[in-house]
Structure 1
């Protein structure tokens, strides 16, 4: 047996691992909160300050108007863009609650597992909503354009697929944690 194998199951080693999990979980909880705030602020700034030609280019619309779009159009477009982002922010806040539970030592609790599932679901939903919101944005932004210039741009990139794979991975981990919790509960009944 190697030295690391001997110390892996010791109380001291378990305590060190538990301390690292709690410390990293506290950092991750803070990161989820900060990221949520930054994403929301960035979206507000994007729709308030980005020039019209850049907005049209990002939306996949080839011909931007010569004048700036109206404030009401920007506000409506912001609302559309916030649907997938709001879903992701909700997921990050669920992730924060999960990490707070981990930091408090509640790793295999029903609450932490539920929050982990909610995080995975929100990431998947956000990934699926993003291309739909992009299509809606292209229609809303091109609506005031002259006849024949209206655009419907639907785009799905590798980031969507990666987000779906990530969400699926986290969902399976939460499912495995649920099974482990149920097995542990069953074993407690036999003791």
Structure 2
């Protein structure tokens, strides 16, 4: 019983954190995107591989902003899934097919987030270097990204395992 109360309490806290992040992150990215479009040259400070003084057009800044906004979609989807999952846990619904499917969707979205952490900076740097004397294609992959990718894979597998467990639970309840 204490573990159940702890699960409900922690899920209640995480519900609000995930909900707040799902609202705040898009706003933050929109603000940065707007700043980049209004002052395209300021984007060079965020792209150290691109030579200082490289001309950056408003169209390039708009593309960089668009890439950032699109890359945010899987993170927001994952956060909204977490809101659903923590809401269900908060209400005491732990082992269900819906929760398993939600965990699976969160894992898949987090896999996309991990992929975007490699692709987005690469694409943005390439866009910003269009008018440079030398084009830049820099692909970065670090241990943090690898760890995030592994955690996302773990969530995906846990989602599949939870789905199997929920089906067994439902089958066992049919016998009672």
- Under a length normalisation based on structure 2, what TM-score does the superposition of the two structures give? 0.85
5+ residue gaps, structure 1: 1-13
Q: Hey, what's the Cα distance between the residues in 1 that align with 2:144 and 2:11? A: 25
Within the candidate set 128, 134, 146, 1:161 is matched to 146
Q: Hey, what's the Cα distance between the residues in 2 that align with 1:83 and 1:118? A: 18
Within the candidate set 48, 53, 59, 1:65 is matched to 53
Report matched runs for 1:32-181 at 5 Å: 32-49=18-35, 55-65=43-53, 69-145=56-132, 148-181=133-166
Deviation at 1:91, TM superposition (A): 0.9
Deviation at 1:101, TM superposition (A): 1.2
Q: Is the 8 A contact 1:22 1:103 kept in 2?
A: yes
Question: RMSD of the alignment, in Å?
Answer: 2.2
Q: Hey, what's the Cα distance between the residues in 1 that align with 2:131 and 2:94? A: 53
Q: Is the 8 A contact 1:83 1:133 kept in 2?
A: no
Q: Is the 8 A contact 1:48 1:74 kept in 2?
A: no
Question: Deviations 1:143-175 (Å, cap 9, x if unpaired)?
Answer: 122xx3221121112221111111122222222
Matched pairs, number: 174
5+ residue gaps, structure 2: none
Q: Is the 8 A contact 2:30 2:69 kept in 1?
A: no
Q: Hey, what's the Cα distance between the residues in 2 that align with 1:179 and 1:142? A: 49
Residue matched to 1:8: none
Residue matched to 1:29: 15
- Under a length normalisation based on structure 1, what TM-score does the superposition of the two structures give? 0.79
In our comparison, the structure showing a higher alpha carbon Rg is 1
Question: Deviations 1:65-98 (Å, cap 9, x if unpaired)?
Answer: 266x343322221111223222111111111111
Deviation at 1:37, TM superposition (A): 2.3
3-state DSSP class of the match of 1:86? Answer: helix
Q: Is the 8 A contact 2:108 2:152 kept in 1?
A: yes
